[in-house]
Structure 1
Amino acid sequence: MFKLLTWTWRGFQTITPLSRRITRSAASSTLKFANKVAVLTGSTNGIGLACARRLAQEGAHVVICSRKKDNVDKAVAMLQGEGLSVTGTVCHVGKAEDRERLVTTALEHNKGVNFLVCVAGVNPLVRSTMGTSEQIWDKILEVNVKAPALLLKQLLPHMENRGQSSVILVSSVVAYNPTVELGVYNISKTAILGLTKTLAKELAPKNIRVNCIAPGLIQTDFIKKISEEPAAWNIIKEREAIQREGVPEDCSGLVSFLCSPDAAYISGETIAVAGFSPHL
Structure 2
Amino acid sequence: MSSHHEGHEPLTPPGADVSSRFRLDGKVAIVTGGTRGIGLSVACTLARAGARVMLSSRKADHVDSAVRALRAEGHEVQGLVANMGKPREAHELAARTVEHFDGIDIIVNNAATNPIFGPLQQATADAFDKIFDVNVKGPFELCKTAHAVMVERGGGAIVNVSSIGGITPEAGLGLYSMSKSALISLTKVMAQEWGADGIRANAICPGLIRTRFSAALWQDGDIADKVLGHQPIRRIGVPDDVAGLALFLASDASAYCTGAVYMVDGGYLA
C-alpha distance in 2, partners of 1:33/1:109?
A: 17
Aligned twin of 1:272: 263
Q: What TM-score comes out, normalization by structure 2 length?
A: 0.90
**Residue 194 (1) aligns with residue 202 (2):** no
CA drift at 1:137: 0.6
Q: CA RMSD in A?
A: 1.8
- Cα pair 1:65 1:88 within 8 Å, conserved: yes
Query: Which segment is superposed worse, 169-178 or 104-113?
Result: 104-113
Query: Which segment is superposed worse, 55-64 or 218-227?
Result: 218-227
Q: Any idea what the Cα deviations from partners look like across 1:39-90, whole Å, max 9, x if unmatched?
A: 1100000111111001100111000000011110010001101111110110
**Residue 240 (1) aligns with residue 231 (2):** yes
Structure 2 residue identity aligned to 1:206: D
Q: Where do 4+ consecutive residues of structure 1 move more than 3 Å?
A: 28-31
CA drift at 1:114: 0.3
C-alpha distance in 2, partners of 1:181/1:96?
A: 28
Q: Any idea what the Cα deviations from partners look like across 1:2-58, whole Å, max 9, x if unmatched?
A: xxxxxxxxxxxxxxxxxxxx9xx69x8498211110011000001111110011001
Larger radius of gyration: 1
Q: Describe the shift of the 1:236–1:245 C-alpha distance in structure 2 as closer, same or farther (beyond 3 A).
A: same
Unpaired segments of 5 or more residues in structure 2? Answer: 1-14
Structure 2 residue identity aligned to 1:181: G
CA drift at 1:277: 5.0
Q: What TM-score comes out, normalization by structure 1 length?
A: 0.87
- Cα pair 2:22 2:251 within 8 Å, conserved: no
**Residue 231 (1) aligns with residue 231 (2):** no
**Residue 155 (1) aligns with residue 146 (2):** yes
Residues 79-118 of structure 1: matches in 2 within 5 Å? 79-118=70-109
Aligned twin of 1:257: 248
Query: Which segment is superposed worse, 232-241 or 52-61?
Result: 232-241
**Counterpart secondary structure, 2:173:** helix
**Residue 174 (1) aligns with residue 165 (2):** yes
Aligned twin of 2:134: 143
Q: Describe the shift of the 1:248–1:124 C-alpha distance in structure 2 as closer, same or farther (beyond 3 A).
A: same
Aligned twin of 1:43: 34
C-alpha distance in 2, partners of 1:180/1:44?
A: 28
- Cα pair 1:166 1:209 within 8 Å, conserved: yes
- Cα pair 2:227 2:268 within 8 Å, conserved: no
**Residue 125 (1) aligns with residue 97 (2):** no
**Counterpart secondary structure, 1:252:** helix
Aligned residue-pair number:
255
C-alpha distance in 2, partners of 1:265/1:232?
A: 37
Unpaired segments of 5 or more residues in structure 1? Answer: 1-21
